[in-house]
Structure 1
């Protein structure tokens, strides 16, 4: 037991006063002689005994009353260490990730959690709290209740270590303060549980769904494309038992185009195919109906009207193989003889090829450097009669290294760098049995550029630095059979395609995405991304004939966005939520060492309230004081001497 005013306990010394008064009374019994001595002696003995009992009883009652009165004024109480600590802070984390859309016994997990927190939180303390996408520091209880009702689902989900790190930032840096983190989540399995800081109490509630099944549209991709039809493949996955056929619909600008069913009865993952007939752009959306998680029931994608990539070959050798490769509908191919080249044509191109020039004048190097700085890509094919000094000047400008003497010996091109962006998704598997092309002569090079293709001895055949590529050997039919190799198509085709990063079918939100829009902007002109309700200006870099766009934090909502220049439509770009949240695998919070776990939010707040309860007893002591005084009055009135 503790006292609010312990200094008043010194008043207990005042209890000595009634004790002294009762023990040292001034009045004494006096003997009076009567004739009947035997009778009077008996009466005297009885009177003395009765008087002493009454005095001792009165003394006890007065002492008890005064003691209770003093204790009442000292205000005794009992409380835990937590309740006694006036320096304490509380931070609450509420998981609002998409996995919290799962249904519990009383509806979606997030909505039930919001209602329970709203109903149970009370008091006058300031509370700091955060979700996956918002944070509030030192809010009043009323402000907290107003804001928590506005919490909506978000694509992000913080891992336990990120939650601890975020809460530590929201706690004050003062030493000796009791820090409590309230952690409300479904604890979707992301990583191993981290260690709890020694100065932090973690109270956790794991919200559990009643249905562990989920059906999701995983991804979509173009499998085949010709002049009028695009074949779109869609992968649908499922978790849970008793899965049957699931209908899936294809929309174009909210108009139903096709509907089919995917059979999941025998496999948890299956693929369906849609044939899209279109001449221009296609603003698509795939949709299925699954009540468990809603965010992965839709997938947005965009197929923009094809834009021709501008390819320029500057030739000092036979270029028929380039014409065969780039004389396609998706390219605008131009070939120029080196002697008749107009430098003013270079800036408007996307991809330029130096086809076995014997020397590269400084003026052309300057024009190509400006072209590269403005987003263009370059492929350099040397000549057997190359002027090494001019070539090294060119290569040094693009940080491709330095070439030395020509070596005349046959070498096979045997090593494909499969992880290089040029060959990513080109081969179904890493080819080991291949009809490798060869060269009869090549140039030795010293370079720190990235290899794309290598000879059998590991030396580079094609290498890359930024947007520039270099072949270390001429590829004319006399020196090499590379022109007839299957490798030439993906190599040069992807060089051209990657010279302009056109928007993909769709991008995932929550990560950095980059693409280019083929347009020339005037000074102070900008591009805007817009959907039906909002718009924003993305990070963008203007080049001579394109604008490079980078998106990161924005947009935050899945959908298809129009890219506009001063309300002039250019093309579409689509974004979707990451599908990781659809994996309904959960960790067990009871396995997290040092964490106090609770079955529900109500029991957590009840436990906190109990820990912070102060039991005061001064009223009881005041009542006992009155009872003892009343008892004393009854003794004095009704007890005979």
Structure 2
């Protein structure tokens, strides 16, 4: 037995006082004469015995009552040695991902969790907690209850390993404390449970189970055909569950209903529907009706007015093949001879192609270096005969390296790096029976960079260094047949397209998203993204003719947003929730080794409270004190 206030036990020494008073009675007896001495002596002996017993009983009851009062104030308790030597820390993880919109026996799973935590009487006095987008360290239980009802769904998700790392950061560094983690989740998805849990953390899982695992989802929207005046949009839908005969699909522009159709969805199958729209500033939304999970019933998208990509070819050789690639519907293509080059046009371009220049003079080098540093894309095609000194000076300035040797033997281009962004989604399959182009003469570069196209001897024909692309051979017909091969169009087309990455129809919240806004802004201007309810400043890089914008966790709410320069709208961009949680498949928390499983939130916290193994007894001693006072009263009043 331990005591919270052991210093009060010294008061037990005061119990000696009533004992002394009882043993040393100072009052003297007075004698009274009486005629019948025999009778008086018998009465006297009998009275003195009963009085002596009564006084001892009263003394014991009084001593016991006082002792119980002292022990009650000292607050005795029993505990195990482990808990006596350590403090207990509790961390609560509430998974508030979008899949918890699924309904259980008491409504939406997340709302049910909030209600049960609010009503729980076994919450520790101090608890740390976190969700997928919020956290709090050492909150009082009343503080947790005041905020738990306001918790909302988050498009952000934490993997099991990330959640464990987050939980560890909320525990203290005290090695002797008992650390308990309560993990509340539906365990949706196909992640594998961590094999090695932290040894110093006791994990208790509470798995939430929906009553219905059927779900309909709007998966994607894409442009499937382009006509002279319209675009054909294809909507892809998925059914995760039982067949549905008639699923209505509505297309809105802003808040106006434009078209409506319906599809039949078979069990666990996908289906598509098509709409036609005009290809000018269309802010669209696809809607379906499904009561199971709500976040994937809408999909926002927008089509902005096209901004042509500016391409400049600086020539000393024939550029007829470039004129065929960079057509006026997508590109503003300029072709200038090196001898009559307008240097003022360089900084306005998105892509510059050096087509067969034999020499790179210092003024041109300085202008191109400034263009490259501002984020412009540079393509270098050497001539058959080049001034190595000027080329090496320029290549070294771009951190590409220097020309090593000239190679005069014929070589074939045999390797296409399909994983490179230029060729992603260009070919349906990795081509093996391709009629590869060849070159007669080439150069080799001392340093190797990101390969795009590679010769049969494993040297690079086309390489990339940041935003610079370098060919190691002339593309003139007498040296190479590359301009007549099928590779020439996707190669030059995709290089230019990536120099101004226009917004997609939409992006997914919580993922790395990058797009460019075609605008020439003063250096002190900052773009912001906003709609009626949200306004934030994204990560951005301002160059001479565009602003490169990067977003990840923001915005948090799906919708169509505007990109603004102060009050001026530059273009729109759409964001949607990721569809990764649309399929309601669940892991079984009981299969997670080295963890305990609880059937409910209430049971988990009851088990946690019981595991503390601390039993307090001060209330019992108060009851005993009252009992002994009552015994004393009975002895004084009843016993004769």
TM-score by length of 2: 0.87
Q: Is residue 246 from structure 1 mapped to residue 247 from structure 2 by the alignment? A: yes
Q: CA deviation at 1:356?
A: 0.9
| Structure 1 Cα separation of the partners of residues 350 and 424 of structure 2 | 21
SS of the aligned residue for 1:409 comes to: coil
In 2 relative to 1, CA 97–352 (structure 1 residues): closer, same or farther, beyond 3 Å? same
Aligned to 2:454: 454
In the alignment, which of 612, 621, 630 is matched to residue 624 of structure 2? 621
Residue 332 (1) aligns with residue 360 (2) = no
Residues 370-519 of structure 1 aligned to structure 2 (within 5 Å)? 370-519=370-519
Separation in 2, partners of 1:276, 1:85 = 72
Tell whether the 8 Å contact from 2:9 to 2:70 is kept in structure 1 after alignment: no
Q: Is the 8 A contact 1:229 1:275 kept in 2?
A: no
Give the equivalent residue in structure 2 for 1:31.
none
- Residue 368 of structure 2 is matched in structure 1 by 368
Distance 1:227 1:388, change over 3 A: farther
Matches of 2:639 and 2:449, distance apart in 1: 110
Deviation (angstroms), 1:478: 2.1
Correspondence 1:122-271 to 2 at 5 A: 125-174=125-174, 176-189=176-189, 190-193=191-194, 195=196, 197-265=198-266, 268-271=268-271
* Mapped partners of 1:528, 1:50: distance in 2: 102
Tell me if the contact between 1:18 and 1:59 (Cα under 8 Å) persists in the aligned partners: no
**Using the alignment, how far apart are the partners of 1:524 and 1:141 within structure 2?**
47
User: How far does residue 153 in structure 1 lie from its aligned partner after superposition?
Assistant: 0.9
SS in 1 for 2:604: helix
Cα distance in structure 2, aligned partners of 1:447 and 1:263 = 58
Inter-partner Cα distance in structure 2 for 1:587 and 1:601:
18
In structure 2, do the counterparts of structure 1 residues 10 and 581 end up closer, same or farther at CA, with 3 Å as the change threshold?
farther
Structure 1 residue 288 displacement after superposition:
1.6
Q: Which 5+ residue runs of structure 1 have no aligned equivalent? A: 28-33
Report the CA distance between 1:324 and its aligned residue.
1.1
Other structure's SS at 1:505 match = coil
Quick one: structure 1 residues 222 and 83, their matched pair in 2 at CA, closer, same or farther if it must change by over 3 Å?
same
The alignment partner of 1:498 has SS state of helix
Query: CA separation in 2, counterparts of 1:344 and 1:392?
Result: 25
Deviates more, 1:510-519 or 1:98-107: 510-519
CA distance in 2, matches of 1:92, 1:203: 10
Secondary structure of 1:401's counterpart equals: coil
Give the 3 Å change call, closer, same or farther, for CA 429–86 of structure 1 in structure 2: closer
How far apart are residue 184 of structure 1 and its match? 2.5
1:408–1:608 distance in 2 versus 1, CA, 3 Å: closer
In 2, Cα distance between equivalents of 1:250 and 1:279:
15
Displacement after TM superposition at 1:426 (Å):
0.6
Q: CA deviation at 1:382?
A: 1.2
Q: What is residue 117 of structure 1 aligned with on the other side?
A: 117
Q: Cα deviation per residue 1:217-271 (whole Å; 9 max; x = unaligned)? A: 22233333344232333332232234444332222223223333343315x3424
Match of 1:572 in 2: 572
**SS in structure 1 opposite 2:329?**
coil
Asked whether the equivalents of residues 85 and 178 of structure 1 are also in contact (C-alpha less than 8 Å), the reply is no
How far does the alpha carbon of each residue in 1:358-416 deviate from its partner, in whole angstroms, 9 at most, with x for none?
22212111111111112211111111122222222222222333224433332221110
Q: Hey, what does 2:545 align to over in structure 1?
A: 545
Instruction: State the secondary structure of the residue aligned to 2:369.
Output: helix
Alignment root-mean-square deviation, CA: 3.4
SS of alignment partner, residue 348 of structure 2: coil
